[in-house]
Structure 1
Amino acid sequence: MNMPLTVTDVVEYSFCPKFPYFINVLGLDQYEQKRGTVTAGRKLHQLHERNNPNYTPHTSNGKKLVARKFYSAKLDLSGKIDEAIEMDDEIILIERKYSDICDISDTLLVQLGLLSILIEENLGKPVKKAVVIFNKTQRKQIPVVIDDAIKNHSLEILEKTKKVIQMGIMPDADFDNRCLNCCFRKICPVGSLNSK
């Protein structure tokens, strides 16, 4: 692999193991710009990056980090945070989601785990908690404890993602409701080319 994997690549594997095959092996595009929710979410992120760059949404005294990119040579992984609050002895990760479904899913935990690892490696301070802010028609903040189990699970998903790309074989995945709105639904076989 010439380019490092991104946290988004790994999160997509967590959503469906076939995503890194379609995107990183076959080089297919998701055409996210055609999806209204994705576009609206990006606009919301840009708005928060621009407005009130020093405002912290918590009663914490710390330095606000906005839209910072991090890289790990050890993991060959890069990622971009929405926001974080750098305190004296720790960093609080803030992730914004444009959704009314206020659910801390496995894909979100993988994202938080990998971003926490990148922050810790680059800034040398622990990330013990995150706050996920869901914001579409309502606003809800959910605190998440970032522990070793979340970080280790995220690293396992990272390794599985790398394996799919290195082997170049489409992995198995189960059909479920996510498939109905998938950008690859027209080309994705229900089974796998590498059946057991």
Structure 2
Amino acid sequence: MTSFYPSQVIEYLYCPRYTYFEYVLRIPQNEEKYHKVQRGREVHDEKLEQNKNYLRKKIGVQQKWIDHYMGSPQLRGKVDEVLSLEDGSYAPLDYKFAVWKDRVFETYKQQLYCYALLIEETFGANVNKGFLVYTRSKHKLVEIPINQTSKNEVMESTEKMLEIIERNKFPKATTYKKRCLNCTYRNICIK
């Protein structure tokens, strides 16, 4: 069975054709060309190094695992930090090379939902929230609620992604046509 990285689930949710072009036709995105993606990866690595000995007492962290890779039949990925909290629950923490602008992007939430499922599978613990750290806003910490409905949507997405791959199924494009403007596949996609 194929398992997916959170970024692949996010791409699918952005437009199902990402899954088709990248995993059925095997046409890579070449996202390394984009400066923000590359810089984000560099800052991410720097922050992991700087925060290895830092426990977040104000959110009740009992224990943490840094840069923790996990896998399940549906998902796989590396979480910046897996936190064990005072109430017995666990939570993912993810660093973002971004400025806090009083709202959380849906892609950031989807990534946390994926991590929540991985943590529940790996640690056998309940995950009902996650945290984002905005590195370009003085490391602002934002708490994100994670409910079962959100986790179920991720699981449904992985099932639909598998169907596209296994059946070589060309899916409908996103209904949000503005997304097509910056798509790495816009030159080969049939509108």
Does the pair score TM above 0.5? yes
> Which secondary structure state, in structure 2, belongs to the residue aligned with residue 108 of structure 1?
helix
Taking structure 2 as the reference length, what is the TM-score of the superposition?
0.87
Structure 1: any 5+ residue segments left out of the alignment? 191-196
Distance 1:178 1:98, change over 3 A: farther
Q: Distance in 2 between matches of 1:188 and 1:138?
A: 40
Please tell me whether the aligned partners of residues 100 and 137 of structure 2 are also in contact (alpha carbons under 8 angstroms): no
Q: Distance in 2 between matches of 1:146 and 1:7?
A: 15
> Which secondary structure state, in structure 2, belongs to the residue aligned with residue 82 of structure 1?
strand
CA shift for structure 1 position 26: 0.9
* Percentage identity across paired residues of the two chains: 30
Name the amino acid aligned to 1:53: K
- Counterpart check, 1:185 vs 2:186: yes
- Counterpart check, 1:153 vs 2:153: yes
Distance 1:34 1:144, change over 3 A: same
> Which secondary structure state, in structure 1, belongs to the residue aligned with residue 99 of structure 2?
coil
The aligned counterpart of 1:114 is 114
The aligned counterpart of 1:131 is 131
Structure 2: any 5+ residue segments left out of the alignment? none
Please tell me whether the aligned partners of residues 5 and 78 of structure 1 are also in contact (alpha carbons under 8 angstroms): yes
- Counterpart check, 1:84 vs 2:82: yes
CA RMSD, 1 decimal: 2.0
Q: Distance in 2 between matches of 1:100 and 1:164?
A: 35
Q: 1:22-70 deviations in whole A, cap 9, x for unaligned?
A: 1111111111211001001101111122123021345124222111111
Deviates most, 86-95 or 115-124: 86-95
Number of aligned residues = 187
Name the amino acid aligned to 1:121: E
Q: Distance in 1 between matches of 2:132 and 2:142?
A: 5
Q: 1:107-129 deviations in whole A, cap 9, x for unaligned?
A: 33332222111111111111111
> Which secondary structure state, in structure 1, belongs to the residue aligned with residue 190 of structure 2?
coil
Please tell me whether the aligned partners of residues 82 and 119 of structure 2 are also in contact (alpha carbons under 8 angstroms): no
Distance 1:179 1:86, change over 3 A: same
The aligned counterpart of 2:172 is 172
Q: Distance in 1 between matches of 2:97 and 2:179?
A: 17
Taking structure 1 as the reference length, what is the TM-score of the superposition?
0.85
